[in-house]
């Protein structure tokens, strides 16, 4: 960078002979482009230019219309302002806190996973086969029997709840072959155990297109689970009493007749198609499920044989 000083001359003993150049600008540029030169002096009345290798002293107070000097000066790097330093400090603190937070979240997740696994292991270690379990094991025609760990894995740790009723909570799940299922956890403090034995015994010996298929069950350390096929369209009441115009449009009279026929066929099978006649004690839209094709499926937990 060239610093212009008007009315300033020089005192030096190491300079180039006077050059007759066309302009003051040319004198300045020649000095600026030559790394050996430190100063350029221009005398306007003589069009004389001197370039100096060293700057010993400068003399001011001269006629500004005649004398002008250009001195090379360095450009110092900009100093960091207080605000910039503050930003750096705040960013460092926030980064540290972010790392600590992430590590804390990871630790909590790992701790929860370990706790879940220990809980599952405890259930399996303390499992005692009572008379009820022996009776279930001796019953022929039962669906697959799952352990508590199996049910936990099928439902992905009971992650997604589908609904809740008088007998317990229903969770979404998936079998190893990719089949979507609904996992019903029975409330052991209600009538779950008694109803559970009745349902497994009955469902083990009956099969019909309009009855919800029981894929498996779990009876371990007081835990009672039923694993059913998943019905994509939910229960019938969600369609009959819905305010959704799209749902109402889907439930045409043809579809309604199809659902009614499926309901009747399922009940007829329970009354006449089994070895011992069975009655359904809780006939209502909430207990009728619909698959993706609007085929009606009776869900159980309300059977009693004659």
Which ranges constitute the DSSP H helices of 187-303?
192-203, 237-240, 245-250, 253-268
pLDDT mean across residues, the chain:
80
Residues 250-266, mean pLDDT to the nearest whole number: 95
200 vs 173: which has the higher pLDDT: 173
Question: Distance between CA atoms of 203 and 187, rounded to whole angstroms?
Answer: 19
Kindly name the residue from 6, 244, 282, 305 that is annotated as catalytic: 282
Output the pLDDT for position 41: 84
Question: Distance between CA atoms of 297 and 236, rounded to whole angstroms?
Answer: 10
Residues 270-279, mean pLDDT to the nearest whole number: 84
Output the pLDDT for position 144: 84
Backbone angles phi, psi at 234, to 5 degrees: 70, -155
Judge whether 26 and 75 are in contact, CB under 8 Å.
Answer: no
CATH 3.40.50.970 assigned to domain 2-72? The reply is no
β-pairing, 303-305 vs 278-280, is antiparallel
Output the pLDDT for position 156: 92
Give pairs for 60-66: CB < 8 Å, separation 24+: 60/5, 60/7, 60/8, 61/7, 62/7, 62/8, 62/9, 63/7, 64/6, 64/7
Has 185 been labeled as part of a binding site?
A: yes
Output the pLDDT for position 207: 85
Residues 87-113, mean pLDDT to the nearest whole number: 86
Reported as a pLDDT band with limits 50, 70 and 90, residue 132 is: low
Clarify whether 45 is annotated catalytic: no
CATH number of the domain located at residue range(s) 131-305 in this protein: 1.10.510.10
Question: Distance between CA atoms of 57 and 145, rounded to whole angstroms?
Answer: 103
pLDDT > 60? residue 81: no
Reduced to 3 states (helix: H, G, I; strand: E, B; else coil), residue 300 is coil
pLDDT > 80? residue 75: no
Reported as a pLDDT band with limits 50, 70 and 90, residue 29 is: confident
């Amino acid at each position: 960078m060239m610093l212009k000083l008007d009315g300033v001359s020089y005192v030096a003993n190491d300079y180039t002979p006077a050059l007759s150049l066309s302009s003051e600008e040319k004198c300045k540029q020649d000095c600026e482009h030559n790394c050996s030169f430190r100063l350029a002096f221009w005398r306007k009345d003589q069009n004389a230019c001197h370039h100096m290798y060293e700057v010993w002293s400068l003399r001011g107070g001269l006629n500004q219309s005649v004398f002008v000097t250009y001195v090379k000066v360095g450009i110092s790097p900009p100093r960091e302002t207080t605000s910039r330093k503050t930003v750096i400090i705040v960013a460092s603190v926030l980064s540290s806190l972010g790392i600590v937070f992430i590590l804390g979240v990871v630790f909590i997740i790992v701790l929860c996973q370990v706790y879940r696994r220990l809980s599952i292991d405890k259930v399996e270690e303390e499992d005692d086969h009572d008379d009820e379990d022996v009776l279930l094991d001796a019953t022929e025609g039962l669906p697959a029997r799952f352990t508590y760990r199996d049910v936990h894995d099928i439902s992905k740790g009971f992650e997604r709840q589908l609904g809740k009723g008088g007998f317990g909570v229903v969770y979404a799940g998936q079998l190893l072959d990719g089949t979507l299922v609904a996992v019903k956890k029975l409330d052991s403090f209600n009538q779950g155990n008694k109803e559970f034995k009745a349902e497994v015994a009955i469902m083990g010996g009956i099969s019909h297109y309009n009855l919800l298929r029981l894929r498996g069950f779990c009876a371990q350390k007081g835990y009672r689970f039923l694993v059913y096929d998943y019905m994509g369209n939910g229960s019938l009441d969600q369609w009959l009493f819905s305010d959704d115009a799209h749902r109402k449009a889907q439930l045409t009279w043809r579809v309604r007749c199809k659902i009614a026929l499926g309901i009747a066929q399922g009940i007829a099978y329970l009354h006449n198609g089994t070895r011992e006649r069975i009655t359904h004690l809780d006939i209502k839209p909430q207990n009728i499920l619909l698959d993706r094709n609007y085929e009606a499926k009776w869900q159980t937990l309300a059977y009693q044989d004659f």
